[in-house]
Chain A
Amino acid sequence: MRTLADTGTTTRLVRARQVGGLWRLFRKAPLIPAVILLAVVISAVFARFLAPEAPTFGNLSDAFIPPAWVEGGSSAHLLGTDSLGRDVYSRIVYGARVSLIVSIFAIFIAGSIGTVMGLASGYFGGRVDGVIMRLVDIALALPTILMALVLVAVLQPGVATVIIVIGCLNWANYARQIRGEVLSVKERDFVILARSIGSSPARIMSRHILPNVFNTIIVLATLQVGSVILLEATLSFLGLGVPPPEPSWGQMVAEGRGFIVVAWWMALFPGVAIMLTVLSMNLMGDWLRDLLDPRLRQI
């Protein structure tokens, strides 16, 4: 009978732990960055309903209207209009789509290639390591923007091309960083223990090493958001990224650059959008890293 009572208690304990775990998961999420990122995502998905005007619609007679709260501003254009009379707010809302899609997919591609390369390089060592690391050296020595320009010029300009090009040019950082982490993780006792019970190299890498270097991948990925958005902007500015008049934040900053003295809002607001998004990504990345670290979970 006593065992039955015990079983009841333990079941309750298990349940309490699971519920507690779920609550703990979200308790420490940083609120403001989460809200900002959510806003970016919502903008990207529901741009059609949130933007008062089409991003490509412009009326030259409405050009250079300042933001609504500045003298001469109009309530019809909350953040003012650009040199072609297009609504800046609408373009930012639509631009979120491009920035989000490009950064997510490009980072996914770069991260995947880099992680696989880094894992193989660090785990197998020797000749595999030598070859991969020389490839990394070459990739890092290439001038990224020039390479991107060449590639985009050869391929057809467009969002997909930008994603592929940025993805294929950014893997080297991941590979090098992850190789270093793998080198230290693979010497740890739990890897030897896992090998001693018959785990294959593929299992060791995916089950034991990858989760232990995942933090690095997350942090690197969040840090890359900024540079990817900027690289996309550069390409768009040079006419080889997202083809105008389709809006992207980087392109808007680039366009506003020429009018910074007369119409500061043209470059400022997309710039703020980039900054807030990148900052929020970094903060969320920190939170995610803490969350993934079980040593901090129970505190």
Chain B
Amino acid sequence: MTTLSSHSGNTYDAPSSPSRLEVKDLQTWFYTRRGVVKAVDGVSFTLEPGETLGLVGESGSGKSITCLSILRLVPEPAGRIIGGEVWLGDTDLLQQSRHEMEKIRGRHVSMVLQDPMTSLNPVFNVEKQVGEGSMYHMGLHGTGLKERVQQLLRWVRIPAPEVRANDYPHQMSGGMRQRIVGAIALSSQPSVLIADEPTTSLDVTIQAQYLQLLKDLQEEHRFSMIFVTHDFGIVARVCDRVAVMYAGRIVEMAPTRELFSTPRHPYARALINSLPDPDTEVEWLTTIPGQPPSLYDLPPGCPFAPRCSEAMDICTQQYPPTFETGIADPGATGPPASHTAACWLYGDSNR
């Protein structure tokens, strides 16, 4: 009859007003001794309130740097955001001062990192770390803060939070730590959560649990999510729309179901083709020939052209603009139901 949550009346449950996140032509370059690495080179997308956008692509395609750029956490001085706009509601995050950014991080946008083993500070107990955000953004102290931490731990389903709050990270399992990281990220009720491969280092059962937890939390607290992953299985489970990245650019963007049924860009098509089908027995899995290009000096045209089976002359000369290809799958409904691909195959002259 008495539940554990009944005694903690808390007035801080209001999420920050849901805002649309719009990234326009974002460019983040790294200046190294060997030259300039255009890690992110003209990425644009929008994230509607409550939506989950998947960001897929191989290692080094710029997924993580895109995420770090949104929070303005690109490792300086090597990395610099060269251009573009990141609108959250009607604020351009790239125009904010450092101090204003500190108020935005956590409160409006926050992040879950890949490895829960290193995401937590080893010298503080869970309570101190989970409470940090609520302390900055809600001005909570003492008992109020303690109760808030308990509430957050219950959100992420930590058993016996009264006891666990006093534990140190090394006393917890990987899955539990990643839930703690989730609690930290959500502690100030942000409207956008960036999840950078949050399940990569968890085993499969824990992965499934964690994804379910994220979905449930999203339902309850109505944040939108950018979900970075290599795993198409996860994409299918959690994402409303997917953006496929290659060499620092988004090459295709479509509602999830649409992408799986009718991938347009040759790279996306090759990726989907290389997924093994459990019903057919094969000796060799399908792969994409060649190597991802070196980002140090990209060819003038489409970076995928050298590996592309459908490359044309123009592909090696000029980078294709983004073409609207139209929705093929009638069952696919994303908030803005559009399917785009950056490929000359869909240029007007080729239609």
Say if the beta carbon of A126 comes within 8 Å of chain B.
yes
Given A18-B166, A193-B111, A198-B106, 12 further pairs, Cβ under 8 A: A3-B2, A11-B162, A14-B166, A190-B121, A193-B120, A195-B71, A195-B73, A198-B102, A198-B105, A198-B107, A207-B124, A295-B122
Chain A residues within 8 Å of B105, by CB: 195-198
**Is B123 touching A196 in the complex (CB atoms < 8 A)?**
no
Given that A10-B163, A17-B163, A197-B132 are known contacts, is A294 also in contact with B168, CB under 8 Å in the complex? yes
Please report the C-alpha to C-alpha distance between residue A214 and residue B122 in the assembled complex, in whole angstroms.
13
Q: How many residues of B contact A (CB 8 A)?
A: 44
Query: Interface-forming stretch among B184-192, B223-231, B321-329, B339-347?
Result: B184-192
**Is A198 touching B166 in the complex (CB atoms < 8 A)?**
no
**Is A194 touching B123 in the complex (CB atoms < 8 A)?**
no
**Is A189 touching B123 in the complex (CB atoms < 8 A)?**
no
Q: Which of B102, B118, B122 contacts A200 (CB 8 A)?
A: B102
**Is B137 touching A198 in the complex (CB atoms < 8 A)?**
yes
Interface bits B176-203 vs A (CB < 8 Å: 1, else 0): 0000010011011000000000000000
Kindly identify, within residues 5 to 27 of chain A, every residue whose CB is under 8 Å from any CB belonging to chain B. Answer: 6-7, 10-11, 13-14, 17-18
22 interchain pairs (CB within 8 A)? A3-B3, A10-B160, A10-B163, A13-B160, A17-B163, A188-B118, A189-B114, A192-B73, A192-B111, A192-B113, A193-B184, A194-B121, A195-B71, A196-B110, A197-B132, A198-B106, A198-B133, A207-B132, A214-B123, A294-B122, A298-B170, A298-B171
Chain B residues within 8 Å of A11, by CB: 162
Say if the beta carbon of A199 comes within 8 Å of chain B.
yes
Chain A residues within 8 Å of B188, by CB: 197-198
Kindly identify, within residues 186 to 233 of chain A, every residue whose CB is under 8 Å from any CB belonging to chain B. Answer: 187-190, 192-200, 203, 207-208, 211-212, 214
Please report the C-alpha to C-alpha distance between residue A257 and residue B162 in the assembled complex, in whole angstroms.
63
Nearest CB on A from B97, distance (A): 12
Say if the beta carbon of B10 comes within 8 Å of chain A.
no
Say if the beta carbon of A4 comes within 8 Å of chain B.
yes
Chain B residues within 8 Å of A195, by CB: 71, 73, 105
Chain B residues within 8 Å of A190, by CB: 118-122, 129
Please report the C-alpha to C-alpha distance between residue A193 and residue B177 in the assembled complex, in whole angstroms.
13
Chain A residues within 8 Å of B269, by CB: none
The residue in chain A whose Cβ has the minimal distance to the Cβ of B119 is A189
Chain B residues within 8 Å of A10, by CB: 160, 162-163
The residue in chain B whose Cβ has the minimal distance to the Cβ of A297 is B168
Chain A residues within 8 Å of B77, by CB: 125-126
**Is A198 touching B136 in the complex (CB atoms < 8 A)?**
yes
Say if the beta carbon of A1 comes within 8 Å of chain B.
yes
Nearest CB on B from A190, distance (A): 4
Q: Which of A7, A18, A189, A197 contacts B185 (CB 8 A)?
A: A197
Nearest CB on A from B269, distance (A): 35
Given that A10-B160, A197-B184, A200-B102 are known contacts, is A295 also in contact with B110, CB under 8 Å in the complex? no
Kindly identify, within residues 129 to 185 of chain B, every residue whose CB is under 8 Å from any CB belonging to chain A. Answer: 129, 132-133, 136-137, 160, 162-163, 166, 168, 170-171, 181, 184-185
Given that A198-B106, A294-B170 are known contacts, is A193 also in contact with B160, CB under 8 Å in the complex? no
